[in-house]
Chains A and B, each alone.
Chain A
Amino acid sequence: MPRKITIEPVTRVEGHGKVTIQMDDNNNVARSRLHIVEFRGFERFAQGRPYWEMPVLVQRLCGICPVSHHLAAAKAVDVIVGAGTGEGLTPTGEKMRRLMHHGQIFQSHALHFFHLVSPDLLFGADADPAIRNVIGVALEHKDLAVQGVMMRKFGQEIIRATAGKKIHGTGAIPGGINKHLTPEEKDEFLKGKDPLNIDKMIEWSLGALDFFKGYHAKNAEMLDNFAVFPSNHLSLVRKDGAMDLYHGVLRAVDSEGKKILNDVDYQDYLKYIGEEVKTWSYMKFPYLLSIGKKDGWYTVGPLARLNTADFIPTPLAQKEFENYKAYTKGKPNHMSMHMHYARLIELLHAAEVMKELLNDPDLMKGELVTKGPKAKEGVGLIEAPRGTLFHHYRIDDEDKIVMANLIVSTTNNNEPMNRAVNYVANKVFNGKKEISEGMMNRVEMAIRAYDPCLSCATHALGQMPLEITMVDSSGNVLGKKTR
């Protein structure tokens, strides 16, 4: 009898997502789908608001990555106020924003690896979820848990020093930044008491990479064969091909590494990227127009960024990048679990960039804001922790937003996440009559590799983040699991 297995998080306002696995009469997976309810209401909400409000307003979108939205919106608004597209800011304005952004990348990547991924690696996919979590890590591997907490805290302090506030930060303003870094703040980040200083952060980032590589040496079979599928990859890169998480041109490569989007100006993104609507999902499916809907989908995020970039412009991360590239003989890496490896290389890169910036005197002096001839439209792109984030605004004569279009990282990864889930479903659900904890967790692991933004900005008490329901073709519930 055909069966349908549903994995459904039940949340209050947004971030609804569920996995539906349709079984055929032979008890094999016929089809799987990952649904995430994208909250598009914000784009309508923005209409009629003054453009200069956007860098603060967009932080309402998400309590998880407000800094990424803050900076992407600021970059779009920079264009509107005539401050250019990322290169027109004053040195202080650009460098302070870069510091804020790399603080965000650092804390987000550290949180993801130490507190979400490490439990899977340390305890295994089949372990009891009561143990396989950050508190289990704290019990069994206290040093790792402490490092995760302190790295997250360091990144948060960088954000506080640059964005000004924990909630609804105001650091990035149209055309620049609203403050310098103080000498006291700089000294604290550079020479603060252990462990909260940048050298310790670099040391721990290297340690995290060693941990992953050590794990890989013993578990290559699993890591190299879990949710592997060919994909196009898209990200910003610096004009010379270097990894640049804050600004650059838009590049995409195909599964063999051939450029299929050749370093174009992202102000023209609508010439290159379309968004397909599918009846079964609220979330759109972006694709490269030149290739078409069927094969033009792409991956964004850490794996994509390491697949598109020619090099990393900081020495320690570059050294690791060379090892990473050598593993696939220079070809793009399509192994979903290597997303974690890529994320750790970026963690190290972010720490190196922060150190470089903290030693730059421009952070503590110089003009903060620049402006020029006004424009009616602006696009801001940034490489958020989870991947490329697009903000696009158009204004009227009264400086009010008449059009807002956002493509968030999780939307960009819609198709690859579906492919990852499908890959795992076919590996672990075929022939099974009920969902085991290990099966459920393997599906989660596939989704988690992309670190999608599911839970989002609101989170009142009483939420039920994840529910798995298994039903047969008649709708009878065969089993249910909640997380």
Chain B
Amino acid sequence: MTSGAYKVLVYGYGNPGRQDDGVGVELAMIIEKECPNIQADYNYQLNVEDSLRIAEFDAVIFIDASLDAVEPFEFMKIQPSHDITFTTHSMLPNSVLSLCQELYGGCPDAFVLAVRGYEFDFAEGLSPRASRNFSKAYDFLKGLLLEPSEETLSHAAISKKI
């Protein structure tokens, strides 16, 4: 597997201590382990400093659990936007892109892999249904990252606004 000249960051976020909320982190961790030429990162949630992190890449794939994604997952291209949540505590991927654009003069191509989740209680590990979605999402992602390019990622994306 190679990243070629097109530098891709896979960024999973969520809380692995809350069951399916950790699906993004788990996917990013397995990509980090299995795909050494792809850079992966993960955290509880997105925040302002991630605008700096993503600025180094040609493309970023954000991965998160979703309550309403079509099973087993959706993959979509996203654009920068000013949507800001009520509190300081997290940012939407679109907002991170927008901040990156304003601060660093441009932003990478960006995609969201939204994996359908079901259970969000205090526990480690994915629910059985989310585990199945995880496996399918991993296969999809691994294939996508074989020879990533703007064209291949965009082609794979479903045009759907979050």
- Name A residues whose Cβ lies closer than 8 Å to a Cβ of B: 9, 12-13, 41-42, 45, 57, 59-61, 63-64, 66, 111-112, 115-116, 129-131, 133-136, 138-139, 142, 145-146, 148-150, 152-153, 156, 166-168, 444, 448, 451-462, 465-466, 483
Residue of chain A at shortest CB distance from B88: A116
Q: B156: CB under 8 A from chain A?
A: no
Contact of A112 among B25, B88, B90, B95 (CB under 8 A): B88
CB within 8 Å for A461 and B114 given contacts A12-B67, A64-B89, A138-B102: yes
Q: B52: CB under 8 A from chain A?
A: yes
CB within 8 Å for A455 and B52 given contacts A45-B122, A138-B99, A462-B67: no
Q: Which residues of A contact B112 (CB under 8 A)?
A: 461
Tell whether, in the assembled complex, residue A152 and residue B49 are in contact, meaning their CB atoms are under 8 Å apart. yes
Tell whether, in the assembled complex, residue B49 and residue A466 are in contact, meaning their CB atoms are under 8 Å apart. no
Q: Mark B8-32, 1 if CB is under 8 A from A, else 0.
A: 0000011111100100010000000
Q: Which residues of B contact A459 (CB under 8 A)?
A: 13-14, 21, 45, 64, 90
Tell whether, in the assembled complex, residue B84 and residue A133 are in contact, meaning their CB atoms are under 8 Å apart. yes
The count of A-to-B residue pairs whose CB atoms sit within 8 angstroms is 152
Question: Could you tell me the distance between the alpha carbons of A130 and B80 in the complex, rounded to whole angstroms?
Answer: 13
Q: Mark B64-107, 1 if CB is under 8 A from A, else 0.
A: 11111100000000000010111111100001001100110000
Contact of A111 among B21, B48, B52 (CB under 8 A): B48
24 A-B pairs (CB sep. < 8 Å):
A13-B21, A60-B17, A63-B89, A111-B48, A111-B88, A129-B84, A130-B82, A142-B103, A145-B102, A146-B103, A148-B48, A149-B52, A152-B48, A452-B87, A454-B87, A455-B87, A456-B89, A457-B21, A458-B15, A458-B120, A459-B21, A461-B67, A462-B69, A465-B85
CB within 8 Å for A59 and B17 given contacts A111-B88, A116-B87: yes
State the 7 A-B residue pairs at the shortest beta-carbon distance, nearest first.
A60-B17, A63-B44, A138-B102, A133-B84, A466-B86, A461-B66, A460-B65
Q: Which residues of A contact B25 (CB under 8 A)?
A: 167
Contact of A457 among B42, B44, B52, B66 (CB under 8 A): B44
Tell whether, in the assembled complex, residue B48 and residue A115 are in contact, meaning their CB atoms are under 8 Å apart. yes
Residue of chain A at shortest CB distance from B85: A465
Q: Which residues of A contact B117 (CB under 8 A)?
A: 460
Tell whether, in the assembled complex, residue A455 and residue B85 are in contact, meaning their CB atoms are under 8 Å apart. yes
Tell whether, in the assembled complex, residue B86 and residue A454 are in contact, meaning their CB atoms are under 8 Å apart. yes
Tell whether, in the assembled complex, residue A461 and residue B162 are in contact, meaning their CB atoms are under 8 Å apart. yes
Question: Could you tell me the distance between the alpha carbons of A60 and B123 in the complex, rounded to whole angstroms?
Answer: 8
CB within 8 Å for A9 and B122 given contacts A135-B95, A460-B117, A461-B112: no
Q: Which residues of B contact A483 (CB under 8 A)?
A: 85-86
Q: Quick one: which of A59, A63, A152, A452 has the most chain B CB within 10 A?
A: A63
Q: B133: CB under 8 A from chain A?
A: no
Question: Could you tell me the distance between the alpha carbons of A6 and B133 in the complex, rounded to whole angstroms?
Answer: 37
Least CB distance, A443 to chain B, in whole angstroms: 11
CB within 8 Å for A458 and B88 given contacts A41-B122, A168-B16: no
Question: Could you tell me the distance between the alpha carbons of A18 and B122 in the complex, rounded to whole angstroms?
Answer: 24
Tell whether, in the assembled complex, residue A135 and residue B99 are in contact, meaning their CB atoms are under 8 Å apart. yes
Least CB distance, B66 to chain A, in whole angstroms: 4
Q: Which residues of B contact A460 (CB under 8 A)?
A: 14, 21, 64-67, 117, 120
Q: Which residues of A contact B13 (CB under 8 A)?
A: 459
Q: Which residues of A contact B87 (CB under 8 A)?
A: 116, 448, 451-455, 465
Contact of A455 among B69, B89, B99 (CB under 8 A): B89
Q: B37: CB under 8 A from chain A?
A: no
Q: B51: CB under 8 A from chain A?
A: yes
Question: Could you tell me the distance between the alpha carbons of A358 and B89 in the complex, rounded to whole angstroms?
Answer: 28
Contact of A167 among B16, B49, B82 (CB under 8 A): B16
Least CB distance, A145 to chain B, in whole angstroms: 6
Tell whether, in the assembled complex, residue B52 and residue A461 are in contact, meaning their CB atoms are under 8 Å apart. no
Q: B154: CB under 8 A from chain A?
A: no
Contact of A134 among B14, B43, B84 (CB under 8 A): B84
Question: Could you tell me the distance between the alpha carbons of A42 and B121 in the complex, rounded to whole angstroms?
Answer: 9
Question: Could you tell me the distance between the alpha carbons of A41 and B17 in the complex, rounded to whole angstroms?
Answer: 13
Q: Which residues of B contact A456 (CB under 8 A)?
A: 89
Question: Could you tell me the distance between the alpha carbons of A461 and B69 in the complex, rounded to whole angstroms?
Answer: 8
Tell whether, in the assembled complex, residue B48 and residue A134 are in contact, meaning their CB atoms are under 8 Å apart. yes
Contact of A462 among B14, B21, B68, B102 (CB under 8 A): B68
Least CB distance, B16 to chain A, in whole angstroms: 6
Q: Which residues of B contact A131 (CB under 8 A)?
A: 82
Q: Which residues of B contact A42 (CB under 8 A)?
A: 122
Residue of chain A at shortest CB distance from B44: A63
Residue of chain A at shortest CB distance from B29: A167
Q: B47: CB under 8 A from chain A?
A: yes
Question: Could you tell me the distance between the alpha carbons of A60 and B21 in the complex, rounded to whole angstroms?
Answer: 11
Tell whether, in the assembled complex, residue B84 and residue A457 are in contact, meaning their CB atoms are under 8 Å apart. no
Question: Could you tell me the distance between the alpha carbons of A300 and B48 in the complex, rounded to whole angstroms?
Answer: 26
Question: Could you tell me the distance between the alpha carbons of A138 and B16 in the complex, rounded to whole angstroms?
Answer: 32
Q: Which residues of B contact A452 (CB under 8 A)?
A: 87
Q: Which residues of A contact B52 (CB under 8 A)?
A: 149-150, 153
